[in-house]
Amino acid sequence: MNYPKANEFEKLIEDLLENKEFQKTKLKKHHGLTRYDHSMRVAAYTYKVTKLLKLNYKEATCAALYHDFFLDEVEEENGLNRLRKHPEKALINTKKYFKLTPLQEDVIIKHMFPVTLTPPKYKESWIVDIVDDYASVIERINWLKILISNKFKKMQLTQSYIIVLLLKIINIK
Ligand SMILES: [Fe+2]
Ligand SMILES: [Fe+2]
C-alpha cells in the first residue's frame, strides 16, 4: 500500500512534535486556542515566507515552532513584563530539549521586539517576529468572533425560553 508522502513542512517538524514536553503545550491556553496550535500556525507561516524569500527556512521554521515553548506561566503581575519575559523563558526551556543554532536562539529571544528592546539580528528573526504578531491578531479576532457568536446564541436561547414561558402562561389562563 502506498501512502501519500508527507509534505516538506510536516517532515521538517515531525521529530520535534514527538517531544513529550512540547506535546503538553496542547494543554496551555494561548490567544483563545492552545499554545500548540498557535506555535504550529507561526511555524507554518514562517515556513512559507522564509522559503519564498530563499532564506534559511529549515532553521527558521523549527525555531518558530519553539518560540513560545514554555509550560509554567511567567509569574508577573504586570502584563507588559509578562510579554517581555516569556521569550527568555521559552529559550531556556527549549535548550533543555533541543540543540539550537545562533539563528534559532535569536529567533526565539527576539520574537517580541519591540516589546523586548533589542532588535532581531537575522532576517529570519524579523520574519518570525512579524508572523507571530500577524498570527496573534488573527487568533484574537477568531476568538472574539466565537465569544460574540456564543453570547448571541445564549441571548437567542434566553429569548426562546421567555417566549415558551409566555405561551405557557397564556395557555394556562
Ligand atoms: Fe511569544
Ligand atoms: Fe507567539
- Encode pLDDT of 111-146 as tens digits: 999 999 999 999 999 999 999 999 999 999 988 888
Q: Which residues surround ligand 2, an ion (CB under 5 A)?
A: 68, 132
pLDDT at 89 over 80: yes
The answer to whether the CB of 66 falls within 8 A of the CB of 15 is no
CA of 110 to the centre of ligand 2 (A): 11
Which cell numbers in the block locate residue 149?
Answer: 457568536
Which cell numbers in the block locate residue 96?
Answer: 533543555
For residue 5, name the pLDDT band (cuts at 50, 70, 90): low
Query: So what's the pLDDT on residue 2?
Result: 58
DSSP 1-49: -PPPPPPHHHHHHHHHHT-HHHHGGGGSEETTEEHHHHHHHHHHHHHHH
Looking at the chain, list the stretches that DSSP marks H as alpha helix, in order from N- to C-terminal side: 8-17, 20-23, 35-52, 57-66, 79-97, 102-109, 123-172
Domains and CATH numbers, the chain: 8-148 (1.10.3210.10)
CA of 132 to the centre of ligand 2 (A): 5
Query: So what's the pLDDT on residue 49?
Result: 97
**Sign of the C-alpha dihedral, residues 165, 166, 169, 171?**
negative
Select the more confidently predicted residue: 107 or 83.
107
Query: So what's the pLDDT on residue 137?
Result: 94
For residue 153, name the pLDDT band (cuts at 50, 70, 90): confident
CA of 143 to the centre of ligand 1 (A): 17
Please give the Cα distance from 21 to 167 (Å, whole number).
56
Query: So what's the pLDDT on residue 81?
Result: 86
CA of 149 to the centre of ligand 1 (A): 27
Grid cell 513560545 is found at 68
> How much is the mean pLDDT over the chain?
90
